[in-house]
Amino acid sequence: MPRKELGLLLLLMLISGITAILNPLFLSGVNLLDMANLIGLFGIFSIGEGLTIITGGIDLSVGSMFSLLGVIFIDLVANRGVSWPLSLMAVLVGGLVLGAIQGFLITRARMQPFIVTLCGLLIYRGAARYYTDDSTMGFGYGDSADTLSWLASGRSFGIPHSFIFLIIVALILGVVLHRSVFGRYLFAVGKNEEAARYSGINTNLVIAGAYVLSGLLAGISTIFLVFYTNSVSPSTFGNFYELYAIAAAVLGGCSLRGGEGSILGIVLGTALLQVLQNLVNILGIPSSLNFAVMGTVILLGVFADQQLQKRRETAIAMGAQRARPAGSVVTAAAPKSGG
């Protein structure tokens, strides 16, 4: 296990131990399974956020994407009588399309990821509110999505399906990110997009691919989140979830400068955020301060990343100084005589 992920795991174990000492119910089966469910719910789309951050971008639109895709899904199943497999495919394709549009604007229109996804945040939220006339949508008693409901919110061997699916997604994308050419290209683009382009990498395709994957994972997460809440209020559903994803990715070792990160780190970052929220509840701190906790985590993560970057630069400079022979002086070559 890489040193950064090992340190994060030890921190997770330390905070879990402190939380268990403060309240032994932290280790109860009910609480652990509930946390596993939440880690699964938030971890899937946090991985998608991490992929965009690795390329040096960011996706601020995922929360609003949940709202738009969520109301479309419930409308198809509950109001229009569309079968759940087709409704599921519509949501997944919708996530892919929204991700592809954002990727196109970033790569072809040369717009900043922050601006594109911020506009997406506003547009998708507004579209969801218009689609429902700003009213909450939910499932009726006669809806025929029992199978999908079990797949999204049920359990196998006592383990929540959301957590099982997170493990599957993490394993697949872990191989893609760390063992495939596409994964190497993601890191190369994040470290230096211009250098990657000159080396023959289709940087536009790589960046757009990251946003398409993020959109797909957002579509998958929408299904889990809809069945977790059983209804969608377009004005609040998914609010600030993009900040949770950014916090999990940054805490998991993804640098906002790009070029760094791992799937394991993002999953551990998601788990650590859930443990921190448990600790906040145990200490009796108002739940309204959860956003303050996330903001603090992002700030500390960015600060730690900057300090590590400075240490690396210092170490490289000192190594180069030691490698230079003592007393060596670089001189310009003298011009040849014309005679």
pTM: 0.87
In sequence order, what are the residues at sequence separation of 6 or more whose Cβ sits closer than 8 angstroms to the Cβ of residue 54? 177, 186, 187, 190, 210, 254, 258, 259, 260, 261
Q: Which residues contact 14 (CB under 8 A, 6 or more apart)?
A: none
Contact 84, 148 (CB under 8 A): yes
Identify the band that residue 338 occupies on the pLDDT scale cut at 50, 70 and 90.
very low
Asked whether the predicted pLDDT for residue 140 surpasses 50, the reply is yes
CB 59 within 8 A of CB 238: no
Least confident residue range of 36-45, 54-63, 198-207, 252-261: 252-261
Residue 142 clears pLDDT 60, i.e. is over it: no
What is the distance between the alpha carbons of residues 120 and 122, in angstroms, rounded to a whole number? 5
Domains observed in the chain: 3-320 (1.10.3470)
Q: How far apart are CA 76 and CA 224, in angstroms?
A: 16
Token representation of residue 76 = 């198809």
- Is the pLDDT at 339 greater than 50? The verdict is no
pLDDT band at 4 (very low <50, low <70, confident <90, very high): confident
Q: Among residues 265, 298, 333, which one has the least CA distance to residue 4?
A: 265
